Structure 1
């Protein structure tokens, strides 16, 4: 059974590093959560390392720019690991072929920026679907449209045997008060239709391997037993932490705020029922990161 806490400081001394989700924990896509940012600053001031581990389908430099634009203080984190970087590494190794059909919005085009750490990278070209060897998906063309609008294209792609590289396994995200579809919703549909989807963000191992490499680059040798994963997605953040055998802190006031009736803290009975339904068991739960 998860332990409900009121502040990160109650448990923070047990851990030397935090793997922290961004959207729903540190910010809402428009504004930072001041109490969450302060919790990260306080943790780092005591010597802890903070790695933002995000299913953003972009490289970390782009995420850093976004954090600056919305006002997340630079001293609240040490480094960033993105599903975009994990997926870009795989793309430039040619896992989806060299000619790819791209699904995403114009601002996602930096996914195709050069990646110099891959030796002899595949010469990736963006082409129409009927010329493609694979699909790269950073998110829907329209994040408010039902993913079902892709069914006809996905049927054609499945019949051609195309793999879909999913750069963001999240199903939905809340931007302010608006809920939007993510790349994971499209990959889920493609898989349900019999297509093959390749995932590189939470809850899948590649992004955790990347986060550990980010820690190592800081000169920190930290065992998994001293890492705490924090997030508001039970299917991504919490299930991913469980798969890696890492302790986790569930933020119930994010995606599950309605199900757990979280305003400041969750209703314990509703929280228990929700976690049982989702078949996850976070080590700790808190309403909002603080």
Structure 2
């Protein structure tokens, strides 16, 4: 007997579904902004949810600690009124670094991510001197690809250096362009025999930290059945929510839904065929899909 997976509905408004929950865990990049500007309907939706008493936590694979992410949100037009707290891969990376006694760290990533080390007992060194790698991304994600790091990663893997991946994403949208992230390098490093600790979605520790944050804001223990995850990443947001046992809504973006032949952007092109291709018979399926987060 063949069991057909239920159809994933495409909804225009999150209001009815989202209002059933006490808290939302919302991805930032791709849902709230595209790296250049905020999405006004998404800002309005998060503000509306908070306005009716909901707890709103942004859950991001950004390698930056929360203060830096919050500054970026304000610059892009996502105001503090749209969220209660942020939990980032940068926050969790700092937690992981504290487990090491004065490590010598090779920072593989852009200089803009250096605040991740502020106040920690460690020394930043060259690859040759390191006993630990922290990968926050490519040095220049505008021009480079993971292939540019093949020789470096092979050399590091041969030395059996452990790596902390400060952003498990493989790709994100920046404007109308897809750029590689730390997760793409970490994946290559694993295939070369390297050991990687992933500090972010879809892995459980960042969800546990987010749940602690929700409980603190709510002043009570909030059950998993009361939490809705909203995100555009199949292998991060949707898979992570399923693995942690919470419901999810998929928001379309160019990350997984490419422009169609008519020139429509990924979100505008979302239809049943896309959802069937993306999720098929997968067990990790969202409750619904949206072309954009809107109230």
Q: CA deviation at 1:253?
A: 3.0
Q: CA deviation at 1:216?
A: 2.0
CA contact (8 A) 2:178 2:255 kept: no
Q: CA deviation at 1:217?
A: 2.0
CA contact (8 A) 2:257 2:269 kept: no
Match of 2:189 in 1: 190
Q: CA deviation at 1:259?
A: 7.2
CA contact (8 A) 1:92 1:124 kept: no
Match of 1:223 in 2: 223
Match of 1:34 in 2: 40
Match of 1:135 in 2: 133
Q: 2:114 aligns with which of 102, 109, 122?
A: 109
Unaligned runs of 5+ in 2: 1-5
Q: Does 1:268 align with 2:272?
A: yes
Q: CA deviation at 1:74?
A: 1.3
1:228-258 per-residue CA deviation (whole Å, 9 max, x = no partner) reads: 0000000000000010010000002341231
CA contact (8 A) 1:231 1:251 kept: yes
Number of aligned residue pairs: give it. Answer: 282
Runs of 4+ deviating beyond 6 Å: none
CA contact (8 A) 1:31 1:71 kept: yes
TM-score, length-normalised on structure 2?
0.91
CA contact (8 A) 2:252 2:292 kept: yes
SS in 1 for 2:167: coil
Match of 1:211 in 2: 210
Q: 2:287 aligns with which of 261, 272, 283?
A: 283
CA–CA distance in structure 2, aligned partners of residues 139 and 220 of structure 1: 37
CA contact (8 A) 2:10 2:271 kept: no
CA–CA distance in structure 1, aligned partners of residues 282 and 85 of structure 2: 30
Unaligned runs of 5+ in 1: 116-122
CA–CA distance in structure 2, aligned partners of residues 238 and 134 of structure 1: 30
CA–CA distance in structure 2, aligned partners of residues 277 and 91 of structure 1: 39
CA contact (8 A) 1:60 1:80 kept: yes
Q: 1:227 to 1:85 in 2, by over 3 A?
A: same
1:111-138 per-residue CA deviation (whole Å, 9 max, x = no partner) reads: 10126xxxxxxx3111111111010111
Q: What are the residue-to-residue correspondences of 1:221-260 with 2, within 5 Å?
A: 221-258=221-258
1:49-99 per-residue CA deviation (whole Å, 9 max, x = no partner) reads: 10000000011011011111111121110000001111111012118x701
